[in-house]
Amino acid sequence: MRIDGRKKDELRPIEAKVGVLKNANGSAMFRMGNTIAVAGVFGPREVHPKHKEEAERAILRTEYRMSAFSTTSRSRPGPSRRSKEISMVIREALVPVLFLEEFPKTAIDVHIEVLQADASTRCAALNAAALALADAGVQMRDLVASCSAGKTNGEIVLDIAGKEDTDGELDLPVAYYPHKKMITLLQMDGIATKEEMKKIIALAKKGCEEIYEIQKKVLKEKYKEGDKDEQ
Amino acid sequence: MIETDKELIKNIVMKGKRLDKRAFDEYRKIAIESGVISSAEGSARVRIGDTEVVAGVKMDIGEPYPDSKDAGVLTVNAEFLPLASEEFESGPPREDSIELARVVDRAIRESKCIDFKKLCIEEGKKVWMVFVDISVIDHDGNLIDAAGLASVQALASARMPKLIKNKDSYEVDYENRSKEKLPMSGIPVSTTFVKIGGQIMADPLLSEELAMDARLTVGTFDSNGKIRFCSMQKGGNGGFTEDEIAAILDMAEEKGEELRKLIKKG
């Protein structure tokens, strides 16, 4: 049993919604326990500045941000080295599923705001971003699902949260492209043996598969036949 | 923009070869020199093939973070010098230079190879700040491994500056460095692999990086004769299967040992 009563391989309660914003072309909210992310997609649209455009494909731009009030001690607004790195790995996790070659000379902008942070913020951000891209009608090969696994008190557990994160020994976020069985985001910090690493990666992948089912369900509900909002 | 013939590189790989005729698990020639910068507390120049990186360690007194009042502070920064590549320009840091610094930082920090508690001068008030600055001088791929080696060698060869205690303040005497080394045990190294056309290979050339599907950097260190993993970072617009990752972990273990042997302690 874990601090919050979960089993070792159990995700936190998840809530997901698509079409949560009026202005963005596509949007989604993804909540994993106390971590909440909202994503808004604009585009494909004209590229500014012009010199960034690519002749044969759309460029994908991702921005991960954390609200100042999202953490216990206020986090300074504006980009940090951490947020720039996370924006980059999120982009690299999404590119494989997008048909960017369908929209040459355009930009697809994905803005993600972490409103509340309790570990795995990059995973919640990615889950929201994938749903928002689908909601925007951007052609995709598949969704991308993300979650983390790690080690706390010597135990390998799924979806580390709260005290498990602050006192934990290892955190390993993964993003997964289910159709190709490909891991498109992989980071790790902490100490582990090779055998532990393999177990943790497999567990994180299993978590991603569960999240993938939730993402599909939310999209199907929104776009089921006869949905008047969408016609 | 640097252009590379991705198809050509893929075709060579399909034939089981590499552009520079290396084996897939083979690193280029690595040369490490330490103490190359006399103004720094510790320094190293690393060449991996035509890639060249210099790292310098500077130390100063500063205030600890509120959540670790009794520990010194590590800061890793990387500059991609404009003279290293036609792609590099002066100005705000590129996202790949931020990534490089953070990946190098992660391997050092997570391996716990530096005992930061021993870098506390006065709890809650004064601690040693350790700055590792990495300058990329010439870019022919695999900057992360070169920067990782240079940083660790610079830290291992560093000598603490003298600390002078005045009535109610401290001063650092950089002219008279002590013989004291940093409290360091274990050597963390980063090993980087790329995938091109389904083939995994170590120590990518710049042209291989431009043609790659994805990249994976794995940090390992030695702990009482056992190898442990301490960091990972996937890069590039592609991914890896679980089996490919398992194969990379095996290679990282082996190659990490080879690289560790090149670091001179002290």
Residues in chain B: 266
Give the type of residue at A98. Answer: L
Give the type of residue at B245. Answer: I
Q: Which residues contact B20 (CB under 8 A, 6 or more apart)?
A: B28, B49, B205
Using CA atoms, how far apart are residues B49 and A59, in angstroms rounded to an integer? 33
Which candidate from A92, A191, A194 shows the least CB-CB separation from B236? A92
Does residue A102 lie in a domain region? Answer: yes
Give the type of residue at A95. Answer: V
- pLDDT (0 to 100) of residue B188: 98
Q: Which residues of A touch B223 (CB under 8 A)?
A: 191
Which candidate from B227, B232, B245 shows the least CB-CB separation from A187? B232
Output the tens digit of pLDDT for each of chain B's 266 residues.
667 788 999 999 999 999 999 999 999 999 999 999 999 999 999 999 999 999 999 999 999 999 999 999 999 999 999 999 988 988 888 999 999 999 999 999 999 999 999 999 999 999 999 999 999 999 999 999 999 999 999 999 999 999 999 988 899 999 888 899 999 999 999 999 999 999 999 999 999 999 999 999 999 999 888 999 999 999 999 999 999 999 999 999 999 999 999 999 87
The count of CB pairs under 8 A between chains A and B is 94
Residue corresponding to tokens 């990534």: B99
**DSSP track, A150-217:** EEETTEEEES--THHHHS-SEEEEEEEEGGGTEEEEEEEEEEE-HHHHHHHHHHHHHHHHHHHHHHHH
Q: Which is higher by pLDDT, A1 or A70?
A: A70
Residue corresponding to tokens 């080696």: B149
- Which positions in chain A have a beta carbon within 8 angstroms of at least one beta carbon in chain B? 81-82, 84-85, 87-89, 92-93, 95-96, 172, 177, 180-194, 197-198, 201-202, 205
pLDDT digits (tens, 9 = 90+) for A72-119: 889 999 899 999 999 999 999 999 999 999 999 999 999 999 999 999
- pLDDT (0 to 100) of residue A162: 85
Using CA atoms, how far apart are residues B262 and B67, in angstroms rounded to an integer? 36
Q: How far apart are the first and last CA of chain A?
A: 47
User: Which ipTM did the prediction report?
Assistant: 0.89
* Cα three-residue angle A206-A208-A211, rounded to 5 degrees: 115
The mean pLDDT of A6-11, rounded to a whole number, is 97
Domain ranges of chain B: 6-260
Using CA atoms, how far apart are residues A126 and A120, in angstroms rounded to an integer? 10
Does residue A71 lie in a domain region? Answer: yes
| Residue A84 to residue B98, Cβ atoms within 8 A | yes
Nearest chain A residue to B100 by CA distance is A85
Fold of B6-260: Ribosomal Protein S5; domain 2 (3.30.230)
pLDDT digits (tens, 9 = 90+) for B53-65: 999 999 999 999 9
Nearest chain B residue to A178 by CA distance is B241
pLDDT at A225 over 70: no
| Residue A182 to residue B241, Cβ atoms within 8 A | yes
Task: Please count the structural domains in chain A.
Answer: 1
Residues in chain A: 231
Nearest chain B residue to A177 by CA distance is B239
Distance from CA of A108 to the nearest CA of B (A): 15
DSSP bridge partners of B130 = B59, B74
Q: Which residues of B touch A192 (CB under 8 A)?
A: 228-229
Helix and strand element counts for chain B (H, E): 5, 12
The domain of A205 spans 14-218
Q: Which residues of A touch B249 (CB under 8 A)?
A: 194, 197-198
The closest alpha carbon to A31, from A134, A116, A112, A144, belongs to A116
pLDDT at A230 over 90: no
- pLDDT (0 to 100) of residue A226: 56
Q: Which residues of B touch A174 (CB under 8 A)?
A: none
Q: Which residues of B touch A194 (CB under 8 A)?
A: 227, 229, 249-250, 253
Residue corresponding to tokens 């996370």: A86
| Residue B110 to residue A92, Cβ atoms within 8 A | no
Nearest chain A residue to B223 by CA distance is A191
Give the CATH number, domain containing residue A23: 3.30.230.70
Distance from CA of A222 to the nearest CA of B (A): 29
Report the residue of A53, A74, A92, A208 to disrupt the B interface, i.e. the one with the largest count of B CBs within 10 Å. Answer: A92
